[in-house]
Amino acid sequence: MSARVLIVDLSVDPEVYRPVDHFAPLVPEGFGVWRPRADEGGPELGRYTHLMLTGSEASIMAPPAWCRDVESLIRVATAERIPMIGICFGHQLIARVGGGKVRRTPTPELGWAEHEAWSEGAPFHLPRTFHAFTAHLDDVIELPRNYQLLASTPRCPVAAMRHRAGPFFGVQFHFEIDLAVGRQVREEFPRLFPAYVPAARPEFAEPRDDGVGAKIMAGFLEL
């Protein structure tokens, strides 16, 4: 059976962030979209084989009311063992639902951070070190129950994680963001979050894409 992906769009302002546009080239045609901030009722999970939770401009430290619906969806997907991956805010939501610890980080990241992979096996086959675009003010500092660490950076202790027994994953970095969009985000960041510019280190690294997005998506869709 071919994969049919449901993208849970957790963005707040489409003028700022349009994750579906960024993920569309990576997922098979015929994917579905659920926007909990705007769509009434929950999605029909039985129509999909895989679940993706996007990033968001919202903060995990003060989540919007609609996040309760997303947390319920995470619990159902976990119980039904539907392959699931969270990106940035979605990663943090999965961690919080599973009993992990999140925070407003004193070391936000913005740019192409170097990541160290702690697990090089299936399904993602990440290289030992890789660069990926990251932009976040919050992060996960303690793994949720039954999860193991997949990758970290010097400023982000849980940059990627996976469940030990189920097909559930979280990544803090934005593997869907290409170089052009990443540059645009970095240029817009001072206007959107001026108070965090000094800590976010926008000089992180020269734009560098090591191509982990295609590997992650390919491995995820094989589950």
Reading the block at residue 201, the tokens are: 């280190």
Q: Which helix or strand (DSSP H or E) is residue 138 part of?
A: strand 129-142
> Is 174 annotated in the active site?
yes
- Please write the tens of the pLDDT for every residue from 6-58: 999 999 988 888 999 999 999 988 899 999 998 878 899 999 999 999 999 99
Residue 219, amino acid: G
Q: Which CATH number is 207's domain given?
A: 3.40.50.880
Reading the block at residue 78, the tokens are: 């976990």
Q: Which residues are CB-neighbours of 172 under 8 A, at least 6 positions away?
A: 88, 91, 92, 134, 136, 139, 140, 156, 158, 159, 160
> Is 67 annotated in the active site?
no
In the chain, the number of structural domains is: 1
Q: Domain of residue 82: give its range.
A: 5-221
> Is 176 annotated in the active site?
yes
Give 197 or 66, the one with higher predicted confidence. 66
The single-letter DSSP state of residue 127 is -
Counting Cα atoms < 13 Å in the Cβ hemisphere of 26 gives: 24
* Residue 183 pLDDT grade (very low, low, confident, very high; cuts 50, 70, 90): confident
Closest CA to 73 of 44, 49, 102: 44
Q: Which one from 22, 50, 67, 88 is the annotated catalytic residue?
A: 88
Q: Which one from 50, 91, 115, 174 is the annotated catalytic residue?
A: 174
Closest CA to 32 of 16, 15, 44, 19: 44
pTM, full prediction: 0.93
- Strands 129-142, 147-153: pairing kind: unpaired
CB 53 within 8 A of CB 90: yes
What angle is formed at CA 69 by the lines to CA 14 and CA 175, rounded to 5 degrees? Answer: 50
**Rounded to whole angstroms, how far apart are CA atoms 223 and 216?**
11
- Please write the tens of the pLDDT for every residue from 139-148: 999 999 999 9
Please report the pLDDT score of residue 61 as a whole number: 97
